[in-house]
Structure formats: C-alpha cells, structure tokens
Structure 1
Amino acid sequence: MSRLPYVPGFAEPAGGTGPGGRPGPPKAGGKALRARVPRSSHAEWTPDAGRPGAVETVEASNAGRLPELTPIRAGRMAASPFAFLRGSAGLMGHDLVRTAVTGVGAQICGDAHAANFGLYGDARGELVIDVNDFDETLHGPWEWDVKRLAASLVLAGREAGADEDTCRAAARDAAGAYRHTMRLLAKLPAADAWNAIADEELVAHADARALLGTLERVAAKARRNTSARFAAKATEEAADGGRRFLDAPPVLRRVPAGEAAAVALSLGDYLGTLPEELLPLLARYEVQDVAFRVVGTGSVGLRSYVVLLLDHRGEPLVLQVKEARPSVLLPYAEKAGFAPGSPSAGHEGRRVVLGQKRMQVVSDVLLGWATVDGRPYQVRQFRNRKGSVDPAALAPGELDDYGRMTGALLARAHAHSADPRLIAGYCGKSAELDEAIAAFAVTYADRTEADHADLVTAVRRGRVAAEMGV
C-alpha cells in the first residue's frame, strides 16, 4: 500500500523532523537540548546594569492608564513584596530574557504567579480549577511561567510566615509537579492527554491532600459568587422599573450617558465573536446599565466596565468589558527569539480570549472581544462562580501542596500548545531542573523584596502617589 501524502496541520510522517525542525522523535529532541541549555543553568540570574528600578517600572507602566487611578495601583503594589511581583510582570520579563531559554515555545500565561490560579464555573455551573488570568498571554518560553510561579510561591510563603526551607520546598515542588505532570502527559494517547488530570483527580495527582479543607472552603464561597449576588449588592431599582448600578467610588462608579452607550453598543460586535448557538441565549437579555469598576493589581488604571443585563424574569447576568493592551512580555519574548504566535489579528482582546482558550480545559462560554471608542476589550462573565486560594494566607504545611497543584495545572495548560514529549524529554527524570528553578526563585524573591522596599521608600517620600487599602 502506498503512503498517503503529508497533510499540513497534522503530524509529520514518521522519520521526518520533529517540532521546530529538530531531527528525530520529540522526546529525543528534548533530551538533546540539555547539551545546549543544561538544566542546572536555570538557577542563574544576575540583575543587569540597565535593569529598571522599582519606581521607574511603576511610572513607565502607568503610561496610557487613567491617571486618577494610578495611586490605587501603586498602593496595592506597595502592600507587600508578593503584591509588587503581581504588578510587575513587565519587569520580570526584562529579567527573564537574561536567563536560560531552551527555545521551546508554548502558549504561556505570561503572569503565572501563585494567585492567578482558581475556581470558576463551566457552562453547567460545575466548578473547574485552572489558570485564570490571561492579560499577558502570548507564545513564549514555557520556562518563564514556571519561574514566575516558583518565585511567587517563595514570596507568598514569606508573607505567610513560613520559614525559608518551606518556601524553597514549595518552589521546588511546583517545578517537580510540572515535570512529573509533563512526563505523564507525554506517555498518554494524544486525546487522553488533552483532557487529562480531571479536577476531581487533581489533589491526588499533585499529592495535595493537606489543601482539601482550604479548597472546600474556597469552593463553597465560589458557588455563591454569582452575577445575581453581585447585582443584589451593587444595583438598585430604577425609576423605569429596571435596575441600575449604585455609585461606590473609587471601585465602582456610574459613567456619563455617552460613555455607557458606547460600551453597550460595542456588545453588538461582541456577539459576532461568540459561537452562533449562544446567540439565542443572549437575545433573551436586555442591556440595563453600565458602570466603571476597578479590578486587579496589574489592571488598575485600565478601562474596565461591568454591564448589567436582565432576562424576562428580572434575573441578572453581568458581563465585564475590560481593556486589553499588548502583552508586557511581547518585546522580551521577541528578544528571546519568539515571534508573536498568539492570534491577535490586530485586536488584543482577541489575543487574550484565544490564548485563554488554548490553555484552559474548559473556558467561559461567553468569552469574546469588542472595540469601544477604538480601543480593544475582552468580554467575559463577571463573578462566574470564581474563587481563589490566597497563597499568602496558607499555613506552612499547605504551601508545598499548593505549589504541586499549581505546577501540575501549569503543565496541563502548556501541553495544549507544546508537545509534552519535547518538554518532558528536556525535563527528564531527575530533580536537577526542580532544584535549579528553586534556586532561581529564592534569588528572584530576594531581588523583589528589595524592589518593593524601594517603592515603599518612594511612597513615603512623596515621589510616588499611593492610595493604600483600596
């Protein structure tokens, strides 16, 4: 029987080249990378002479943000070293481009710190746990996500009062769980690997049983975190019998009629980014009101709205319409040799949404994008049964369990766009990579604490305006 022709988009015929033109099977290609980029080299990082300072980083990142909100952002970043890390993904991108890079790319989160994992509801209201923040997602080095996660665990552990051995172990265990999970996925049939590690199996797979009580409490809270609950607290009955948002500045505030109308009208184009089968569902809702709402740490100062919709029974659905800017990691990924692989087609909201769908097993069915006054936005459900573990509040005995769980989730997310056989071949069986990433994490956490101290000093001296506790 003659061999069928090669079909572009499918795997290359046996005996051909591996991913990226590397000869031989992916696992062998991953092993071969160790000669060029030893696994121990991931421990190495030294700040360069041109590294921006903490104050310079905050000031530069404020460009294009609403100036009246930047003091809130600075105040949130000044709260702790872990909070500073959360708001400085761009600074870490500058640093990571000077670390060891294998050249193997994946759709990365770009901001995979320990607080960006959590629970959310699927289409049937069941809870799913996964990576859940994608503002910075792009095609880049898989190692960058792992290193950011590991460094954040050290900082979160220190904030929680854990000793240094515990913090380092959490970073090491996160890298180890990533490696073990990637090796597991590499051995499975492709279709099984795609959906592997169901959420009900995650705790056992990651050996995270000490987290069970915490996860149960977070899940119970997440089930109550709905559009209806938010609308009940944040809206009031309007004169026409509908509902409207209450003013609660600076976090939630009403907007002028023209601004609200522009946001509402953008939802027409948003509908075109959704699967057709969902359009009859949204056609049963009427747009009621629009308000501005401050969110996150890294996102403070960006334009972000909540839109209230009501069905025929007056039951609410709240959408979030959030400004999407180019990933802060883009220039650094390009320096590391990665061309923009995330499908943006000139629209950053599209980049965020499609990057999220590439990484998650199950995504919000109402994810889409829109354009308001020429600016790109992502659109998603607001308060979609979301819940998260605060890693800085974990007991020391839970921190390494949380590290293993998040490391496993990150490997699953990367394996949707990168061949797990290639990464598993590089990571190998030994703990050499785990130890190297743990060493990097401690070094980087020390540097972040110094950066945070510089920001706090600038706030005290009045150089940086900061509104604390908001």
Structure 2
Amino acid sequence: MTGTRRVAHPDVTERRARGKEARIRTPLASHGAWEPAADRPDPVKLLTDQDADREADLVPVRHGRMLASPFTFYRGAAKIMASDLDGTPVAGLTVQLCGDAHLSNFGAFASPERRLLFDLNDFDETLPGPFEYDVKRMAASFTIAARNNGFSKADARAATVESVAAYRKAMADFAKMGTMAIWYSHLDEEELLAGIRQARTAASTGKDKKNAKKLKRAEATAVKAVEKAHTRDSLQALSKLGELVDGRYRIISQPPIVVPMRELESEYNLSADEIEHALHEQFRAYRATLRDDQRQLLERFELIDIARKVVGVGSVGTRAFIGLLQGRDQKDPLFLQVKEATRSVLEDHLPRSRYKQHGERVVYGQRMMQAASDIYLGWTKGLDNNRHFYWRQLRDMKGSADVETMLPTGLVFYARVCGWTLARAHARSGDPIAIHAYLGKRDHFDEAIADFSKHYADQNERDYQAFAEAVRSGQLTALEGV
C-alpha cells in the first residue's frame, strides 16, 4: 500500500546481538571521559540567544532563578548541555528522550484513574535520540544536587552511581518482560512508600542503624508529600489563585508571577474584547485536538478567565498561561495550564522532530514516555502562528521531592526511583533487549557515567561562575527571589 511504513520485527536473538555489537563499537568505558570541546560555544551566549524570543519583562526573573546556585543554573541550562552532548559516545540505540531529565523533572501526579503515580513530568525538550543523553542529564543532576547540599565526594558519587545502576538493572528486568507488560508498568504511591519502608527495615535489621533513622525521617517526609499532593487540585488552586468579584470568580493579580489578561492589553497590543475573542478561538482550536469523549467532557466547562503565570526555571520567559474554567457552579472549577512549546534544544544536534507543531511534539513525547498522561493534553497555535502551545491540567495532584533538603540516604533512594522510572520510559519507545545487552550485568556503565558526571559538574560550576560574572558586570539583568 502506498505511503505505509514497513516495520521490522527482529527476534530476541537479533536484538540482543545488536546491543552486544554496539558495545564493541562504543565501549562502556568511553562514556566516562569528557572535556569541553576546543570550539565550545560561550554558555552565556547560548542562554542569551534563548532570551531573544522570550517575554522581555520575565527574562530577569529567569536569570535570577538560575543565579541562586549551580544546581538551579543547571536546571535552566538544558541548551548548554545539549550542545555538550553532541559528539559524545553513543551506542546508536534510539529512544524517545525526555530531553531534560534532571532529577527535579521527576515527580508525582494523578492518573486518569485518580491514582498518584511517580514519573517524568517535563517534556518541553522531548525528541527521539540516543538513550545516553537522558541518562547523562539525570546522573549529572545528582552529582550537582549532592554538591549543592554539601555532601562529601563519596556521598555525591554514591547517589550518582545509584541512579545509573537502577536504570541498568531496571532495563535488565524490562528486557525479560512482554511488550504489553512494559507498557502497563508504573510506580504508584503504594509501591513508592513500600520501597522506602523496605529500605528502612533492611537498614534497621542490619548494622546500618544510623541510616535506618534517616530513612524513617525520609519516610515521614514522603508520606506528608503524598498527602499534600492529594490536596492539590483545581478547588485548592482556586483558593490560592482566585478571587470573587461581583459574584463571579476571576484570577487574582500577583505580578510578575501571575498577571491576568485584563492587565496585559498593552503587552499584546490588543483590546479587552479582542483578547477575549482570541482566547475563545484558541480554546476551540485546543478542544479539537482532544478525543471525542474528552472534548465532550471539557465542553461542560466554561472558560471564564485566563492569566499569564511564570513557571519553573528553564521555562521562565516563554509564554505560559493558566485558564480558569467553571463547571456546574462556582464550587466546580477546572484550571488548565497553557505552555509555549518552542523548538527542542536537541534539534540543533539531532534530526528534527517529525511534528511541525511543537505543542504536538511535546504531547506525543509525554504520552509515549509516561505510564499515564493527563486526559486534557492537547495543543494549539498562538495568535502568532509561529508560536506553539500545549495544554494540560494545572496542579492535578502534582507533587515533587524537596531535593535541596535531602540527606545522603534520601538522595540515594530518590536516585534509585528516578533511574527505574527513566528506564521504564525508555523501554516503552526503545528496545530494552538491545539496551540491556549493551549495558551488561556489571557496573562498568554506572562507573563511567559517574566519571562523566563529575567532569560535567565541574564544567557546570565554571559555567555558573561565568553566568554570575555576566550578571555582576551588568551584561545580564537578574531579578532574584521571585
């Protein structure tokens, strides 16, 4: 049939052989050596190039957040690392990449069945590519976070190695599983808390009584985080973000973090009526990207207000909004988040996305990698057709780990969970049999990536200092504490 794509179905033996051949071509130890290229781009320029298309009044907020520490700088520096990963050794085994798989881009959220799941939760940079790119981004983030927390070199390496070892061991398990079993695999709150309890019990019955006490505190913290996540829904968001005016809710103004569209007429050179008309046109276009049942459900809600809302670190300055919708009455709100989807930072170094609409690229990547995705994931173009957006629920039982207060034992456990989660996400789109055959059963890959992470953490600190100097010299403007 004309236009159909022929799909190859190699058997297990062939898939395993592919991974072993890749190990000969790209030895595991080769991943450990890294140094900046002689023609390495200026990291500050890479960041300012990104600023060009961002909201000018928010760029100083982005700089201020990145200036807080080398760790927050790393979170906002995906473009720099994408450039550095170009040309590094790869096995030639492609997966759907998160593209920005640092440890703060993992977290909890609600599945459509209202179960709390732990998974990757940021896909702005998603693109097919070498699995090593995500592993290195994740592992280096553990080294950098550990340093930020004042851990010893040994503790920093232990957390880093654990993140990669967990990835490797999980991939070995997925290599033995059936296709649908991999697709249905997930990590929910019961399994997460059970894992913490199991680690604590093992420590308390052994010689490591000191870590048992730390794990007990970590368990209590995790339970509180889970309980808090269950309270984070649209009704709770309304209590924080809404105000009742003349008998009708609207989004409260909290500049520069939250600015209602009624206050942005001059920013977008549109009248209030033009803005309202444009927003409803956008909403209709977004609904058309949903499945019929999801669209009919959403049509029971009326869009009543929208505001610009600053999010994250790396995303600050891109256009991001929240929409307040109302269902049966004022006690039935629904908040949606609308985020601008720009070109993935990986597209400068990997084949371009087959999706011309970057919002659709993000949605596809999220659905491919997550165990379960938001029923309201959709996309649209902006008033300017060169701007693309994706839509999802805001605060749908979303929770995240407080990495900057973690002790070494807690960070090691968190590394284990993140490594497993990344492996599961890669196994859904890639070939777990080939990747497992490449990684092998021993810890050579783990140690090599830990070596890479140390080298890259050193470079990240140098880049951070260059960035801080650009702020001090007045080359860049930063608004801190926002």
Please, what TM-score do these two structures have when normalized by structure 1? 0.91
1:52 deviation in Å?
2.3
Residue by residue over 1:201-260, the C-alpha shift from the partner in whole angstroms, topping out at 9 and shown as x without a partner, is: 356679765353332222111112111111122221233x32111111000012232334
Q: 1:183 to 1:204 in 2, by over 3 A?
A: farther
1:61-460 matches, cutoff 5 A: 61-199=50-188, 200-202=190-192, 210=215, 211-239=218-246, 241-255=247-261, 256=265, 257=272, 258-314=274-330, 315-333=332-350, 339-340=351-352, 342-344=353-355, 346-373=356-383, 374=385, 375-460=387-472
Fraction of identical pairs, as percent = 42
Greater alpha carbon shift after TM alignment, 395-404 vs 435-444: 395-404
Task: Please state whether the residue corresponding to 1:308 is helix, strand or coil.
Answer: strand
Is contact 1:260-1:291 (8 Å) kept? no
Task: Please state whether the residue corresponding to 1:321 is helix, strand or coil.
Answer: strand
Task: Please state whether the residue corresponding to 1:120 is helix, strand or coil.
Answer: strand
CA–CA separation in structure 2 for the residues paired with 1:182 and 1:260: 49
CA–CA separation in structure 2 for the residues paired with 1:78 and 1:67: 18
Residue by residue over 1:416-449, the C-alpha shift from the partner in whole angstroms, topping out at 9 and shown as x without a partner, is: 1001001000000010000000000011001101
Is contact 2:109-2:117 (8 Å) kept? yes
Pick from 48, 63, 70 the counterpart of residue 37 of structure 2: 48
Partner of residue 4, structure 1: none
Is contact 1:262-1:372 (8 Å) kept? no
CA–CA separation in structure 1 for the residues paired with 2:5 and 2:52: 42
1:343 deviation in Å?
4.5
Q: How many residues align?
A: 448
CA–CA separation in structure 1 for the residues paired with 2:233 and 2:468: 36
CA–CA separation in structure 1 for the residues paired with 2:295 and 2:414: 39
Task: Please state whether the residue corresponding to 2:349 is helix, strand or coil.
Answer: helix
What value does the CA root-mean-square deviation take over the aligned residues?
A: 1.8
Greater alpha carbon shift after TM alignment, 209-218 vs 299-308: 209-218
CA–CA separation in structure 1 for the residues paired with 2:248 and 2:120: 36
Task: Please state whether the residue corresponding to 1:115 is helix, strand or coil.
Answer: helix
1:55 deviation in Å?
2.1
1:453 deviation in Å?
1.3
Q: 1:9 to 1:191 in 2, by over 3 A?
A: farther
CA–CA separation in structure 2 for the residues paired with 1:415 and 1:205: 22
Partner of residue 336, structure 1: none
Task: Please state whether the residue corresponding to 1:67 is helix, strand or coil.
Answer: coil
What letter is aligned with 1:238?
A: V
Unaligned runs of 5+ in 2: 201-214, 266-271
Is contact 1:154-1:168 (8 Å) kept? yes
Residue by residue over 1:22-75, the C-alpha shift from the partner in whole angstroms, topping out at 9 and shown as x without a partner, is: xx5211210111111000000011101221233222211212101111000011
Task: Please state whether the residue corresponding to 2:303 is helix, strand or coil.
Answer: strand
Is contact 2:117-2:186 (8 Å) kept? no
Is contact 1:309-1:317 (8 Å) kept? yes
CA–CA separation in structure 1 for the residues paired with 2:63 and 2:462: 16
Task: Please state whether the residue corresponding to 2:429 is helix, strand or coil.
Answer: coil
Residue by residue over 1:96-124, the C-alpha shift from the partner in whole angstroms, topping out at 9 and shown as x without a partner, is: 11311111110010000000000001123
Is contact 2:93-2:431 (8 Å) kept? no
Task: Please state whether the residue corresponding to 2:390 is helix, strand or coil.
Answer: strand
Residue by residue over 1:157-193, the C-alpha shift from the partner in whole angstroms, topping out at 9 and shown as x without a partner, is: 1111211111111111111000000000001122212
Is contact 1:76-1:83 (8 Å) kept? yes
Q: 1:56 to 1:350 in 2, by over 3 A?
A: same
CA–CA separation in structure 1 for the residues paired with 2:288 and 2:33: 47
What letter is aligned with 1:378?
A: Y
Is contact 1:254-1:290 (8 Å) kept? yes
Q: 1:212 to 1:343 in 2, by over 3 A?
A: farther
What letter is aligned with 2:109?
A: Y
CA–CA separation in structure 2 for the residues paired with 1:50 and 1:62: 22
Is contact 1:44-1:100 (8 Å) kept? no
What letter is aligned with 1:178?
A: Y
CA–CA separation in structure 2 for the residues paired with 1:148 and 1:251: 28
What letter is aligned with 1:427?
A: L
CA–CA separation in structure 2 for the residues paired with 1:13 and 1:188: 16
CA–CA separation in structure 2 for the residues paired with 1:8 and 1:87: 38
